[in-house]
Amino acid sequence: MDLKPFHIKGHLWVFVNCLVENPTFDSQTKETMTLKVKSFGSTCPLSEKFIKQALSCGVVERVLSWARVKSQDKLAQKQKGSKQNKLRGIPKLDDANDAGGRNSHECTLILTEGDSAKTLAVSGLGVVGRDHYGVFPLRGKLLNVREASHNQLMNNEEITNIVKILGLHYTKKYTDGPELRSLRYGKLLIMTDQDQDGSHIKGLIINFLHHNWPGLLRQSFIQQFITPIVKVSKGSRAISFFSLPEFEQWKCSTEGAHTWKVKYYKGLGTSTGKEAKEYFSDMERHRIPFKYSGANDDDAILLAFSKKCVERRKEWLTQWLEHRREQRDQGLDESLLYAEQMDHISYSDFVNKELILFSNMDNERSIPSSVDGLKPGQRKVLFTCFKRNDKREIKVAQLAGSVAEHSAYHHGEVCRVIYMYLY
């Protein structure tokens, strides 16, 4: 909130012992002096030492604490959920039939990355039913609430909708059964693309809940739905891979890997309705719960999203890069986060093994190389232009398709229709 002088004055008592020439008052009781400052006959310059002493008396902390509480109250009034059966006014929400009812604790809200992912989830509901599953699509990446201003939170429609759909209250902690049963949904299932940007969206949702309701993380409230990022097939045989390192290991260890047909999934929208039903028919493999493992989890989330941890993040990334280089030099495989036997994941493992891939990739695609001054995307465009050897102008849409075809770019729109073979 915007702090005004009268906000601060409300927290101060100032006692002044001084001599004023010919003072005038507003009444016989002499409670309020009306004499103008220029007629006091003297001035009172405040020394730097006095100002430092005044600031150290605790009044600043008291005012800031009051402002935080006031902002939280306003936010709670505007973004307030309630346990009601039917919600109106939230576009694109497919509510579970039992959400907000007596069986709401058995319901799961599926948050998807965009409308195409919602289509996949809705196809899967044909397998698990709509009584206990609701779907809501996110529009891009969620706000990092840890560093957001009060006005940003108040005006963020996405966050307001999530709070209402789940039935959350900012004044509750959700550390016990009765408070958890007051929610419209008992679980939150995050369904994003299996790429690094999808990992970032998962992290932002976790950060949002951890910042406002850390108790929900301790109650195993959050789950994730994983889908293949690469699928290989040969005849009637098919193998799915949930991370690129896993696929690379298979490729190196499998004789005749080049004879397999490979499909790269740009995102959830690339999967077919048939594949959606396959995923939801095997929920044990595709649904991975997050389990709270202690203070390390809290520290990992803060490390990833707090402005105060900038220097720690630099060190974190540097150490990870050095460790990866050592592993490659020694010919060791990268550790796989989503092995077939995995039945849960800790928040610290998610941050240190998955989210860090986004942080590294974000640097790689945002910071030009010191060798040629180019980013990977720019380098691929130049490579394609040299290869095409065009003498005339070309439309951007035409060039984009050509770049995807010639530069092993697997994460564009063309992924929906292009199959390729390994060489």
Q: What is the CATH number of the domain that holds 135?
A: 3.40.50.670
Same domain, 291 and 192: yes
Give percent of the chain above pLDDT 90: 44
Tell me the C-alpha distance between 44 and 21, whole Å.
14
Same domain, 113 and 43: no
Q: Which pLDDT score is estimated for 301?
A: 98
Q: Domain with 56 in it: what CATH number?
A: 3.30.230.10
Same domain, 246 and 308: no
Same domain, 61 and 94: no
Q: pLDDT tier at 248 (50, 70, 90 boundaries)? A: confident
Entry pTM: 0.76
Burial class (CB in 10 A: 0-12, 13-18, 19+), 4: exposed
Q: Which pLDDT score is estimated for 62?
A: 83
Which of 365, 392, 412 is the last residue in one of the domains?
365
* Element (DSSP H or E) covering residue 138: strand 133-138
Mean pLDDT of the chain: 86
Separation in Å, CA 413 to CA 124, 139, 270, 378, 402: 23, 18, 9, 18, 12
Same domain, 302 and 178: yes
Number of domains in the chain: 4
Q: pLDDT tier at 43 (50, 70, 90 boundaries)? A: confident
Which of 365, 385, 400 is the last residue in one of the domains?
365
Same domain, 155 and 55: no
223 DSSP β-pair partners: 189, 289
Q: Which pLDDT score is estimated for 140?
A: 86
Q: For residue 171, is pLDDT > 90?
A: no
Q: Which pLDDT score is estimated for 408?
A: 65
Q: Which pLDDT score is estimated for 40?
A: 85
Same domain, 207 and 320: yes
Domain of residue 176 covers 84-227+272-365
- Give the full edge-to-edge strand order of the sheet including 261-264: 237-241, 230-234, 261-264, 420-421
Q: For residue 34, is pLDDT > 50?
A: yes
Same domain, 241 and 289: no
Same domain, 342 and 215: yes
Same domain, 107 and 185: yes
Q: Which pLDDT score is estimated for 417?
A: 37
Average of per-residue pLDDT across 86-112: 93
Which of 46, 76, 106 is the last residue in one of the domains?
76
Q: Which pLDDT score is estimated for 423?
A: 36
Average of per-residue pLDDT across 415-419: 38
Same domain, 173 and 292: yes
Same domain, 13 and 120: no
